[in-house]
Every structure is written in structure tokens, then in C-alpha cells.
Amino acid sequence: MTGSITKAARRGRGLAVAVAAGLLLAGCATPQNPKDPFEPFNRTVFTFNDNVDRVALKPVATAYKDHVPGFMQTGVNNFFGNLNDLWSAANNFMQLKGQAGMNDLTRFGLNSTFGMLGLLDIASPAGLSKHNEDFGQTLGYWGMPSGPYLMLPILGPSTVRDTAALPADLWADPWSEANPTRLRNTGIGVRAVDQRATILDASNLLEEAALDRYEFIRDGYLQRRESKVYDDDRSKRRKPKSKYDADADDDDQDMAQQQPETPASAETPSK
């Protein structure tokens, strides 16, 4: 475990240096959006990520989706999702959501045994819903503001809060302990390709639409993260502690005034 902590710390430091250098260059630019004061830097990183995706990741993900049998893709997705249930349980407990935490632990136990190490998801049909909690959500639950939006190299959309939480998420990934190293690296690559394959249709539609993809992804990410922190329950939201969260509140209120109320989701929030 010490090796994992060291690796996570090195990744965190390297990422922090790269982001800090870019932010210094972007600091002199006039911000166009109060939630995105580093937009010039973020757009540059977005273009870099987009080029990497077009040249490397998307073609591989397309081949994976087209040629790998569906049951194998499902197995890969289930396997890594099962590993994530452990960290999700830990974050639910840190957020004092005991019922959701026990739900995630039970999911992991069932799928790891009767589900062939997680290749089969037998917990969901049994009524054990899946949660995807991470340390960034835990920090948000305890009142840490999201801070400005960031576009990270390779990793994609984030915020200052979620970036600060990355080392903990990397350290807690059970796959980081897999041996030998070749197996671990192969698994990391397969997981990345599988995750990219799951959003191919959505990304293709986005590319065809006549809109600013950067803004669409940014706004969608910020709204989604806010929703996940508060389990889709606006009444749980604390008073904003930073101007970025205050601006998000203003935008949400404007949208609520412009749009009719939507029916409550059938899914029961975690407790």
C-alpha cells in the first residue's frame, strides 16, 4: 500500500505542476465566465485532449465496440465497476450515509463471489442499486466549494476540489495493486478504452451538433457534479462559500425560473 501512496503522490504532484504552469499563463487573460476564470488555458487543454482522442483513443474504442462481443464488454465494465464499489462504500460512510455504504459493500460481496469476481452483476437485479461516490463528492458533502472549473490533460473535466481529491481516488483504486506490472497497465488501458466506448454514440452526436463543444461539456460536467454531491436534492445544498458556487446557484435559479418543474426521479436517494 505504501507503493500506491507514493505513486499517487507523484501523480498528484506532476499534475499540480502542469496545471499550475498553465494557470499562471492564463491568469493575465480576462475571464469570460465566472465559473471558468481559466478558460483560455482550459480551451487549450481541451484542444490537446480532443486531438489525442481523435488520433488514439476514439479509433481504438470504436474497434473495441464494433468487434469485441457484447458480453465481454459487459464483463469488463462490470469487473471494474465492482472494484469501484469498495471506494464508493468508503465515501458513503464518510458522508454518514450508512445505508448506502452497506448497500455498496453488499454489492461487492455478492458480485465478487456469486458474480465470478464481478464479471456478472447479480446485485442490481437483486435490488442493490449502484452508487458512484468519490472523494471529490465527499469533500463537497462536507462543505468544500468546488472552486473554478479545470480541464486536465488526458483526464478531462474537473474542478479545483475534484483535482485535489484525485490522489485519494488513485490511491484507493484496488487495481493499482495488481501484479505483475504488465497486467496492471493492460487493465488500465482496457478500462480507459471500455469507458470511452460507452460514450461513443453521445460524443458522435455532440460532434455533429452545431454548438460549442467546450461549453457544452463544461456546463454539463458542473451541473452533473453538483447534482451528485447533493444526491439530486436541492434542499441539501449548503450556503455557497465561494463566488464560483454562488454563481452556480444563480445560474440554477435562472434555469429553474425558465423551465417547468420535472417529476421527481423514481430512484430513492441514498441515505
Q: Are 111 and 75 in contact (CB under 8 A)?
A: no
pLDDT in tens, 98-144: 999 999 999 999 999 999 999 999 999 999 999 999 999 999 999 99
Torsion on CA atoms 139, 141, 144, 146, rounded to nearest 10: 90
Q: What is the structure's pLDDT at 231?
A: 86
Nearest-angstrom CA–CA distance, 29 and 19: 16
Above 70 in pLDDT, residue 246? no
Peptide bond into 145 cis (omega under 30): no
E-assigned strand segments in the chain: 149-152, 156-159
Cα–Cα distances in Å, from 187 out to 47, 112, 198, 215?
A: 27, 17, 17, 32
Above 50 in pLDDT, residue 8? no
117's CB contacts (< 8 A; 6+ apart) are 79, 82
46 closest CA partner among 216, 167, 224? 216
Above 50 in pLDDT, residue 245? yes
Above 70 in pLDDT, residue 9? no
53's CB contacts (< 8 A; 6+ apart) are 196
260 falls within a domain: no
> Which long-range contacts (C-beta less than 8 Å, at least 24 apart) are formed by 5-13?
5/171, 7/170, 7/176, 8/167, 8/168, 8/170, 8/171, 8/176, 9/167, 11/166, 11/167, 11/170, 12/166, 12/167, 12/170
77 falls within a domain: yes
User: Per-residue confidence at 5, pLDDT binned at 50, 70, 90?
Assistant: very low
Nearest-angstrom CA–CA distance, 207 and 57: 16
Judged by average pLDDT, the poorest of 15-24, 152-161, 225-234 is 15-24
Q: What is the structure's pLDDT at 77?
A: 98
Q: What is the structure's pLDDT at 264?
A: 37
Q: What is the structure's pLDDT at 262?
A: 38
176 falls within a domain: yes
178 falls within a domain: yes
Q: Are 108 and 122 in contact (CB under 8 A)?
A: no
Rounded to two decimals, what is the model's pTM?
0.77
Q: What is the structure's pLDDT at 249?
A: 54
Q: What is the structure's pLDDT at 15?
A: 52
User: Per-residue confidence at 241, pLDDT binned at 50, 70, 90?
Assistant: low
Above 90 in pLDDT, residue 270? no
270 falls within a domain: no
26 falls within a domain: yes
If one counts the domains in the chain, the total is 1
Torsion on CA atoms 155, 206, 209, 218, rounded to nearest 10: -40
Domain around 92: 2-253
Q: What is the structure's pLDDT at 265?
A: 36
* Beta bridge pairs of residue 150: 158
Nearest-angstrom CA–CA distance, 123 and 78: 11
- Across the chain, mean pLDDT equals 84
Q: What is the structure's pLDDT at 233?
A: 74
Cα 202 from chain centroid (whole Å):
16
208 falls within a domain: yes
3-state class (DSSP) for residue 263: coil
101 falls within a domain: yes
